[in-house]
Amino acid sequence: MKTNQFTMQDPRSQYQMGKTEKDGEQPDPGLDEILDPKADHGENTYEGSNRLKGRKALITGGDSGIGRAVAIAFAREGADVVINYLASEETDAKDTLDILKASGSDAWGIAGDVSDEEFCNSLVRHSVEKLGAIDILVNNAGKQQFVADLEDLTTEQFCQTYATNVFGMFWITKAAVKHMPPGASIINTTSIQSYQPSAGLLDYASTKGAITSFTKSLAKMVIDKGIRVNGVAPGPIWTPLQQSGGQPAEKLPKFGENVPIGRPGQPAELAPVYVYLASQESSYVTAEIMGVTGGQHLP
């Protein structure tokens, strides 16, 4: 029987990906191409219904993980999409763009590092040139590296995590708002770590707290332009981020098993929330954070 996102299933057993091995680690930044076991981004399951027909979306970190799943969903809902990614992630980006174009939407990739302000401005400028406008902005690019001891957390890593997760979001949003019409939507990716921070993720968790507050404050700042701003807070989701230093090797075999549903989430399980927040169905929703946490609920 063919299944899609509408097929009723027991959520505890919907995905059986097996154990994630310690020796499955990969370099930072990680790639979906070598992620083991593979993640589901909705490539074979997401079916759209024109909920975003004619919309123009820019998605950072759109080559892999949650960003890839969101890009696939947006394209299948009728949006044209620009994905941003690091140059070292070109392989994943090409695979994602092939999927997007097969959905019938126009899609482009722009490589570059969002921790650089000059690049962020050029990313928005080139996205507008390709799309004609930006009416959906998804700030999703992120850096996560586990460091167990405070004395081992370097200033360089702390600053780079903030530059990628927080400053890049600020620079891109500031540049993009000028091109966003009333009815546009900004969606930021925060985390359960904003509310329930883990030891070893001091820099990452604190950036997610900043993103949560940024989202709520920005929403009140730009609603007078008719722009809504919301966030999505994922729990333990199986992406290359986890295998490339985001989790310690010894935790990988049981990653995500501590939540009530009893398993890690898949990127495909996040995409419908982003579609909802991007669409006109959420017209009365702004300054909100929506959790997708496997039951590890937000306060």
Looking at residues 243-263, what average pLDDT do you find? 81
Q: Is 124 within the bounds of a domain?
A: yes
Using DSSP's 3-state secondary structure scheme, residue 57 falls into strand
pLDDT digits (tens, 9 = 90+) for 148-191: 999 999 999 999 999 999 999 999 999 999 999 999 999 999 99
Strands across the sheet with 289-292, in order? Answer: 107-111, 80-85, 56-60, 136-139, 185-189, 228-234, 289-292
Angle at the Cα of 275 from the Cα atoms of 228 and 62, rounded to 5 degrees: 95
pLDDT band at 21 (very low <50, low <70, confident <90, very high): low
Q: Is 148 within the bounds of a domain?
A: yes
Better-scored residue on pLDDT, 139 or 299: 139
Give CA 211 to chain center in angstroms: 13
Q: How many domains does the chain contain in total?
A: 1
Q: What was the pLDDT predicted at 249?
A: 75
User: What percentage of the chain reaches a pLDDT higher than 90?
Assistant: 82
Q: Is 36 within the bounds of a domain?
A: no
Q: Of 75-84, 173-182, 239-248, where does mean pLDDT reach its minimum? A: 239-248
pLDDT digits (tens, 9 = 90+) for 6-18: 889 999 999 976 6
Q: Is 202 within the bounds of a domain?
A: yes
Q: How far is 107 from 111, CA to CA, in rounded Å? A: 13
- Domain of residue 161, CATH code: 3.40.50.720
To the query of whether residue 204 is one of the catalytic residues in this protein, the response is yes
| Other Cβ atoms within 10 Å of 280 Cβ, number | 10
| 228, pLDDT greater than 70 | yes
| 276, pLDDT greater than 50 | yes
Q: How far is 278 from 264, CA to CA, in rounded Å? A: 25
Q: Is 28 within the bounds of a domain?
A: no
Q: What was the pLDDT predicted at 252?
A: 81
| 217, pLDDT greater than 70 | yes
Question: In which domain, by residue range, is 271 found?
Answer: 51-292
Q: What was the pLDDT predicted at 287?
A: 98
pLDDT digits (tens, 9 = 90+) for 119-135: 999 999 999 999 999 99
Q: What was the pLDDT predicted at 248?
A: 75
| 23, pLDDT greater than 50 | no
* Distances in whole angstroms, Cα of residue 43 to Cα of each of 39, 65, 68, 263: 10, 12, 9, 21
pLDDT digits (tens, 9 = 90+) for 37-70: 788 899 999 999 999 999 999 999 999 999 999 9
| 240, pLDDT greater than 80 | no
| Torsion (CA) 88, 203, 67, 55 in degrees, nearest 10 | -120
Q: Is 63 within the bounds of a domain?
A: yes
Q: What was the pLDDT predicted at 242?
A: 75
Computed over every residue of the chain, the mean pLDDT equals 92
DSSP 197: P
Q: What was the pLDDT predicted at 288?
A: 98
Q: Is 8 within the bounds of a domain?
A: no
The residue annotated as part of the active site, out of 15, 85, 204, 274, is 204
Q: Is 176 within the bounds of a domain?
A: yes
Q: Which residues contact 77 (CB under 8 A, 6 or more apart)?
A: 48, 49, 50, 51, 52, 53, 275, 279
| 30, pLDDT greater than 90 | no
Q: What was the pLDDT predicted at 1?
A: 42
| 211, pLDDT greater than 70 | yes
- Run of H or E including 240: helix 240-241
